[in-house]
Amino acid sequence: MTEIAQALTDKWWTFLLRGFFALALAIFAFAEPSAMQSGLVYLVAAYFILSGIMAIYGGVSFTGVGQWWLLILVGLASVALGIMMISQPGLGPLALAYMVAIYAISTGLLEVAAGIEFRQIISNEGWWIFFGILTVALGVYIAMRPDIGIVALVYAVGIYAALAAGSLFALAFRLKSAGNELAKGGRVSPAT
């Protein structure tokens, strides 16, 4: 169990980096909504690719530890969607909405599963689960309202990215703290 905790806490910075990517996307969505409308496909695709690469790296780092393949699966889905969005930018806002919805629901479910899997290793794993639930909620909202228009989609992505950044930052710092406890020879107390 200590090896699993150590492997997870050593990669706390990957969650922090994903949080910075999400925060940058949120800031851009609210600061430049008109520019984001025209480049939404490319910006969201870049976010998916970068976030996916970080998730794959985290999963590969945990190879053989618990359900490590969940992070790799999330990362591969994210990178594949990002590449598809770049290669087919003319799909239009409705197709983009459905692509984002499918990605968000599937990735959110995998994030929740990963959070539940690691609940015995870290306390306050709720941030990971919250991030997954938030991602599923965004996907369901967009799937139910694909006609919201490109402007509303920009703001929906911005709100999601801001909330995702907050939960990823909280998770990253909790993992870092847990790693410091392990380094001091203490035991990371699992969530109750």
According to the model, what pLDDT value does residue 191 have? Answer: 40
Average pLDDT of the segment spanning 39-68: 79
pLDDT tens string 129-145: 888 898 899 889 888 88
The pLDDT of residue 190 is above 50: no
Question: Residue 27 pLDDT more than 90?
Answer: yes
Per-residue pLDDT tens for 67-87?
A: 677 788 888 988 888 888 788
The residue-averaged pLDDT of 88-96 equals: 67
Query: For residues 177 and 98, what is the distance between their CA atoms, to the nearest angstrom?
Result: 38
DSSP state at residue 178 = H
What are the tens digits of pLDDT across the range 110-126? Answer: 888 877 877 766 666 77
In tens, the pLDDT along 152-184 reads 778 878 888 888 888 888 888 888 887 777 777
Tokens standing for 13?
């910075």
Domain extents in the chain:
2-183
- Average pLDDT of the chain to the nearest whole number: 79
How confident is the model at residue 114, as a pLDDT? Answer: 77
Residue 187 CB coordination number (10 Å): 11
Residue with tokens 């309202």: 145
Inter-residue contact 100 to 157 (CB < 8 Å) = yes
Percent composition of the chain: helix, strand, coil (DSSP 3-state, to 5): 85, 0, 15
Least confident segment among 46-55, 63-72, 90-99: 90-99
